[in-house]
C-alpha cells in the first residue's frame, strides 16, 4: 500500500511535513517511515471518496475508513488485517492529529478509536543531562578495545554535543573538524545545506584524542578522509552508529536509560531540549541544528512545555 500515489498536492505536502515533524521529534526510524505511509494510505482513501481537503474529513468518515480496514483481506496471509496493523493506522491518525494541533490547525480528527496497546511499541524520549553524563561515563567499558571506546565518546560528542544528524556524522571528514576555530563544518546537512557548529574545548579534546590516538588503529584503507571509521578502515555507516549507541546503553546498565529505548536522533533531540532549558534563544538553536525554518525548531518548545507540565 505504500506505493499508492496521491493526486492531491495538499495531501502530499502534509505527508512530507508530517514525516519531517516525526524526524525532528526524534522518533524511531521505523516510526518515521511507517506512520507517514499509513497517513498516505488514509489520504488515498479520502481521494477515492471525493474528499479533497482535511476540512471535509469528519469523525464519521474516519470510522467508515476504519471499518473498511477491519474488513480488508490480509495480503500476506489468510484472514483479516492483524490488530497490530490496525493499531498502527490508528496511531498514525492520532499522531497526525497532534501534528495538526501543534501547528494551530483545528480538525475533525478528534475521533477516539479503541486500540489495543502494543507492549512492544517503542517511543523515543529525551534524556536528562544526568543521563547523558552516564552515557559518556559508560564509554569507559563500552568495548574491550580502547580505540573503540574513544570512538564511542567521539560519537556522543558529534550526535549530542554538536547535535548532528546521523547522516551528517557519517559524512564527516577529518578536515571538517576545525580545531583552531572550535567549529565543525557540516558540508552535507539536510537538503544539502552547509553550516558551522560550535564545539567547546572539552569536546574538541575528545575528538582530538580519537583522531590522533585511536583512528590510526582502525587499519585505514585507501587514504580515506572519513572521520569515523569501522574495523575495516572505511567510513562508519549509520547502522553501525546505532549499534554502538546500543552498546553504550548496555554498558551504562541504567534501567532508566534502557527503558527510554533511545535512538540516534534522541541525542540530537535531547541537546535541543537542554538548550531550551538553558534559555538559549530559539533562533540560535535553529542555526545550531540546521533547521530550514523556525517552525521546525518550535516543536521543541511544545515538548518542553509538556515536560514541565509533567505530561
Residues carrying an active site annotation: 165, 190, 265, 268, 291, 300
Q: Which 3 state secondary structure label does DSSP give 141?
A: coil
Query: What residues have CB less than 8 Å from 234, skipping those under 6 apart?
Result: 221, 222, 224, 226
Strand partners, 178: 183
Q: Which long-range contacts (CB under 8 A, 24 or more apart) does 118-124 make?
A: 118/84, 118/87, 121/91, 122/28, 122/261, 123/27, 123/28, 123/261, 124/25, 124/26, 124/27, 124/28, 124/260, 124/261, 124/262, 124/263, 124/265, 124/266, 124/269
Distance, in Å, from the CA atom of 200 to the CA atom of 177, rounded to the nearest integer, reads: 12
Q: Virtual CA dihedral for 55, 116, 16, 76, nearest 10 degrees?
A: -110
Contact 65/45 with Cβ under 8 angstroms?
yes
Distance, in Å, from the CA atom of 69 to the CA atom of 85, rounded to the nearest integer, reads: 9
**Number of C-beta neighbours around residue 123 at 10 A:** 12
Question: Which DSSP symbol is given to 157?
Answer: I
**Number of C-beta neighbours around residue 142 at 10 A:** 24
Query: What residues have CB less than 8 Å from 296, skipping those under 6 apart?
Result: 20, 21, 24, 286, 289
Nearest to 266 by CA among 229, 291, 237, 241: 241
Contact 113/66 with Cβ under 8 angstroms?
yes
Residue whose cell numbers read 483481506: 73
Amino acid at each position: 500500500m505504500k506505493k499508492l500515489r496521491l493526486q492531491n498536492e495538499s495531501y502530499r505536502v502534509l505527508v512530507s511535513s508530517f514525516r519531517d515533524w516525526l524526524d525532528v521529534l526524534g522518533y524511531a526510524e521505523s516510526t518515521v517511515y511507517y506512520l507517514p505511509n499509513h497517513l498516505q494510505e488514509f489520504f488515498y482513501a479520502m481521494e477515492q471518496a471525493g474528499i479533497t481537503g482535511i476540512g471535509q474529513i469528519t469523525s464519521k468518515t474516519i470510522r467508515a475508513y476504519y471499518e473498511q480496514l477491519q474488513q480488508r483481506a490480509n495480503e500476506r496471509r489468510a484472514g483479516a488485517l492483524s490488530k497490530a496493523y490496525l493499531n498502527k493506522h490508528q496511531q498514525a491518525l492520532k499522531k497526525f492529529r497532534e501534528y495538526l494541533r501543534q501547528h494551530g490547525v483545528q480538525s475533525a480528527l478528534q475521533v477516539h478509536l479503541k486500540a489495543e496497546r502494543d507492549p512492544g511499541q517503542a517511543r523515543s524520549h529525551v534524556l536528562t543531562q544526568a543521563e547523558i553524563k552516564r552515557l559518556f561515563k559508560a564509554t569507559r567499558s563500552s568495548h574491550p578495545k580502547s580505540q573503540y571506546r574513544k570512538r564511542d565518546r567521539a560519537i556522543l560528542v558529534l550526535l549530542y554535543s554538536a547535535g548532528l544528524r546521523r547522516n551528517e556524522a557519517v559524512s564527516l571528514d577529518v578536515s571538517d573538524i576545525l580545531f583552531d576555530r572550535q567549529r565543525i563544518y557540516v558540508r552535507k546537512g539536510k537538503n544539502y545545506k552547509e553550516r558551522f557548529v560550535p564545539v567547546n574545548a572539552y569536546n574538541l579534546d575528545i575528538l582530538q584524542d580519537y583522531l590522533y590516538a585511536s583512528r590510526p588503529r582502525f587499519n585505514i584503507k585507501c587514504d580515506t578522509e572519513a572521520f569515523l571509521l569501522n574495523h575495516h578502515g572505511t567510513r562508519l555507516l549509520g547502522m553501525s552508529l546505532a549499534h554502538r549507541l546500543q552498546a553504550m546503553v548496555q554498558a551504562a546498565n541504567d534501567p532508566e536509560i534502557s527503558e527510554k529505548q533511545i535512538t540516534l536522533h534522541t541525542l540530537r533531540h535531547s541537546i535541543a531540549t537542554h538548550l531550551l532549558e538553558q534559555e538559549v534563544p530559539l533562533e540560535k538553536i535553529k542555526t545550531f541544528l540546521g533547521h530550514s525554518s523556525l517552525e521546525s525548531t518550535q516543536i521543541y518548545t511544545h515538548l518542553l512545555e509538556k515536560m514541565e507540565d509533567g505530561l
